[in-house]
Structure 1
Amino acid sequence: MTRKPKGELRRGWTTGACATAATKAALIGLWGGDVPDRVSIVLPKGEVFETPITISDRGDGWVSVGITKDAGDDPDVTHGALIIAKVSVSDGGVQFRAGDGVGIVTKAGLPIAVGEAAINPVPRAMMDDVVGEVAADYAATPDVCIEISVPNGAVIAEKTWNPRLGIKGGLSILGTTGIVRPFSCAAWIASIHRGIDVARAGGVTHVAGCTGATSETTVQKLYDLPDHAMLDMGDFAGGMLKYLNKNPIERVTIGGGIGKLTKLAQGAVDLHSSRSQVDFAALADMAGIPALKDANTVLEAYTIAGPPLAKAIADLALTRVQSAYPAMQFDIVVIDRAGAIIGRAGL
């Protein structure tokens, strides 16, 4: 399990910020002659990102610059990745291309059109801005092709949500602020939202959000759901449910281990152990077994009470979510650590 380092956490920089900085340095090399040793850009909220150049190269009519991404103390899979921007003159305006290791969008529902490079709107706007800035500095015409690549990006992307979202061949170039805040929930929740968008755009009528890999495997097999119907809910039940409430899908399955689903049944929407706890006294009252109030874990309570407890938890969780979000039809699947179903409620 990844643990937070002690002390103040060091923030990092998004792939979008790195791609923008690399683009600026490459443009300086294209129009000014020499690639600088360091480059700085202004991020969307006014903060300045300054970074050294890792590599640079040039050829007939093009310049490329690579910057090593520093994600700070965040356990980001792209930490240490080389983000390369290759710039050349376009046949009109700013154009974006996916180089090696950057994905192509293949499914509707994302903020980038199908067939386009998986470079999100904010990074595109940031790069567009530096094209204008550097073009003005060198009295150049701002007609530029920007190709972003990430060596080994296709391999790294297998550890992300990209394959499920229909982004093929590599990573997405992301970031709304340019800054990676260590252990932020925002990126995970944003990925859940994009998963819902893709499912809706694809006409999916049944999705499933699960607390982990084991429950996901069980639920996907149970209902024979495609990958793009599976939402990586994790601990963020609230993040998923609130977005679904605004962007409903006909049927929603929630699957997970008995401990996390007990918290959901008791009203928690953030299921992480540091942010919600099981009320064992309430669990004992619900099951009518006073001994459960002294249990250390829900799993221990289950060994005492048996399958009826799992069923009662599933029923209560179903009541909670169904009453809160009546526009959708829910069902609950409770599993044990081996992935066996020990309780169900709903469809």
Structure 2
Amino acid sequence: MTRKPDGPLRKGWTTGACATAATRAAWQALLSGEFPDPVTITLPRGETPSFSLIKAETGEGWARASVIKDAGDDPDVTHGAEIIATIRHGQQGSGITFRAGDGVGMITKPGLPIPVGEAAINPKPREMMTQQIVELANRFNATADVEIEISIPGGQEIALKTWNPRLGIVGGLSVLGTTGVVIPFSCSAWIHSIHRGIDVARATGRKHVAGATGKTSESAIRQFYNLPDEAILDMGDFVGGMLKYLRRHPVNYVTISGGFAKLVKLAQGHMDLHSSRSEVDFGKLAETVATLGGDAELVSEITNANTAKQVLELCTSRNVDIARTIALQAGETARATIDGASAIEVVVVDRVGKIIARAGHGDFDTFLPAKTTNPNL
């Protein structure tokens, strides 16, 4: 995760807001022959941003406009992308339809808020664009029978940096945004993707999902259970966001896979595991080691340790199984959060991808299908 810079942060505009602005400009040009530049829209919460046009083109029965997405100070992979709207008159009575142009994905798996076979343009951006079409149609005494095609040049390559391929969105990016505003470092997009991953897992019949804190722990748990893409959740640091959504939208079995330091934080009650928002309490960790039989010297060393990695190394050298205990404690925190909606397992993975501890409901061994043989366990 990109480090949050110091000082006040500048807000930006979502892909959905940019698509809405481009749609309004193109539709107004198709109706009046003139492009508004800049084009101003009203967002769901009342903001009225203005966008300068990059493209402003017309032809027989169509108009096209584009804007550049400005995500403010958020490390958004779509920052700087060109968002293009091409508007065409539709057949009488066809209403407003949406089409994926170059760089916008198509939905191929159930569980997302848009049906399979539709362009990956989410409900709120569709609503925002529809409002612009209807408003201008009323102003110019036109019918709102319109095809809206959204394109994002380079979107197929950018989408590889997102969760779209895992969610079954192929061919490009999604047009997203519920408020139209990007709040820098709000992490809302990440948590939104976790929720959509859970929706897809449920819709495709998955009984077991796994959330991982990083690539190493994801690779380890994927191999251990031979899990497909739709069963893997990009949890990252947002274990709370995952568990709270699973509490309302449960699956049978949930595995939390992570490094020792991250899972110590979960064991100590933290729901956000990022280093800037939670930290390891070494005093509590020392108390835990004492209950496991650690001598006074070891307890003192852990109290004064600099990193969780150091704690793990100290305990390993003294044959104190701290990893298993942390897995058990993290499982207790997770079970309290999910409130019995799912069986919980916690898996601790070291830095080279070896599973060093597992703890859960019967270690899941009697509840889940046979595992693949994993030489790392």
Q: Which moved more, 1:109-118 or 1:2-11?
A: 2-11
Counterpart residue number, 1:320: 333
Q: Which moved more, 1:16-25 or 1:132-141?
A: 132-141
Counterpart residue number, 2:375: none
Are 1:23 and 2:36 matched, yes or no?
Answer: no
Question: How many Å separate the matches in 2 of 1:231 and 1:157?
Answer: 17
In structure 2, list runs of 5 or more residues that go unmatched: 364-377
Question: How many Å separate the matches in 2 of 1:6 and 1:187?
Answer: 21
Counterpart residue number, 1:335: 349
* Offset, 1:37: 2.3
Secondary structure of the structure 2 residue equivalent to 1:334: strand
Question: How many Å separate the matches in 2 of 1:334 and 1:248?
Answer: 23
Question: How many Å separate the matches in 2 of 1:301 and 1:8?
Answer: 36
* Offset, 1:189: 1.0
Q: Which moved more, 1:194-203 or 1:327-336?
A: 327-336
* Offset, 1:312: 1.4
Are 1:160 and 2:162 matched, yes or no?
Answer: yes
The percentage of counterpart residues that share the same residue type is 58
Q: Could you tell me whether the CA contact under 8 Å between 2:23 and 2:87 is conserved in 1?
A: yes
What pairs with 1:28-177 in structure 2 (closer than 5 Å)? 28-91=28-91, 92-177=94-179
* Offset, 1:100: 0.6
Q: Could you tell me whether the CA contact under 8 Å between 2:104 and 2:119 is conserved in 1?
A: yes
Q: Which moved more, 1:249-258 or 1:309-318?
A: 309-318
Q: Which moved more, 1:333-342 or 1:115-124?
A: 333-342
Q: Could you tell me whether the CA contact under 8 Å between 2:246 and 2:341 is conserved in 1?
A: no
Q: Which moved more, 1:172-181 or 1:278-287?
A: 278-287
Opposite residue 341 of structure 2, the aligned amino acid is: A
Q: Could you tell me whether the CA contact under 8 Å between 1:23 and 1:146 is conserved in 2?
A: yes
Question: How many Å separate the matches in 1 of 2:335 and 2:80?
Answer: 44
* Offset, 1:187: 1.4
Counterpart residue number, 2:307: 297
Opposite residue 151 of structure 1, the aligned amino acid is: P
Question: How many Å separate the matches in 2 of 1:158 and 1:333?
Answer: 28
Q: TM-score, normalised by structure 2?
A: 0.90
Question: How many Å separate the matches in 1 of 2:36 and 2:271?
Answer: 48
Instruction: Provide the alpha-carbon RMSD of the alignment.
Output: 1.2
Are 1:211 and 2:224 matched, yes or no?
Answer: no
* Offset, 1:323: 4.4
Question: How many Å separate the matches in 1 of 2:56 and 2:208?
Answer: 48
- The superposition leaves residues 176-215 of structure 1 with CA deviations (integer Å, 9 ceiling, x where unpaired) of 0000010012211111111111100111000000111111
Question: How many Å separate the matches in 2 of 1:344 and 1:280?
Answer: 22
Question: How many Å separate the matches in 1 of 2:154 and 2:286?
Answer: 52
Question: How many Å separate the matches in 2 of 1:80 and 1:52?
Answer: 13
Question: How many Å separate the matches in 1 of 2:277 and 2:72?
Answer: 23
Q: Could you tell me whether the CA contact under 8 Å between 1:287 and 1:312 is conserved in 2?
A: no
Q: Aligned match of 1:287 in 281, 286, 289?
A: 289
- The superposition leaves residues 295-326 of structure 1 with CA deviations (integer Å, 9 ceiling, x where unpaired) of 11110001100161111111211233234432
Counterpart residue number, 2:263: 261
Opposite residue 292 of structure 1, the aligned amino acid is: I
Opposite residue 23 of structure 1, the aligned amino acid is: T
Are 1:250 and 2:260 matched, yes or no?
Answer: no
Regions of 4+ moved over 6 Å: none
Q: Could you tell me whether the CA contact under 8 Å between 1:110 and 1:198 is conserved in 2?
A: yes
Are 1:344 and 2:358 matched, yes or no?
Answer: yes
* Offset, 1:2: 2.1
Are 1:194 and 2:196 matched, yes or no?
Answer: yes
Opposite residue 331 of structure 1, the aligned amino acid is: E
Question: How many Å separate the matches in 2 of 1:105 and 1:3?
Answer: 32
Q: Which moved more, 1:76-85 or 1:330-339?
A: 330-339
Secondary structure of the structure 2 residue equivalent to 1:42: coil
Question: How many Å separate the matches in 2 of 1:341 and 1:260?
Answer: 14
Paired residue total: 347
Q: Could you tell me whether the CA contact under 8 Å between 2:41 and 2:48 is conserved in 1?
A: yes
Q: Could you tell me whether the CA contact under 8 Å between 1:280 and 1:294 is conserved in 2?
A: yes
Counterpart residue number, 1:308: 321
Counterpart residue number, 2:367: none
Secondary structure of the structure 2 residue equivalent to 1:208: strand
Question: How many Å separate the matches in 1 of 2:257 and 2:231?
Answer: 13
* Offset, 1:275: 1.5
Secondary structure of the structure 2 residue equivalent to 1:146: strand
Question: How many Å separate the matches in 1 of 2:329 and 2:7?
Answer: 40
Question: How many Å separate the matches in 2 of 1:5 and 1:138?
Answer: 46
Q: Could you tell me whether the CA contact under 8 Å between 1:198 and 1:228 is conserved in 2?
A: yes
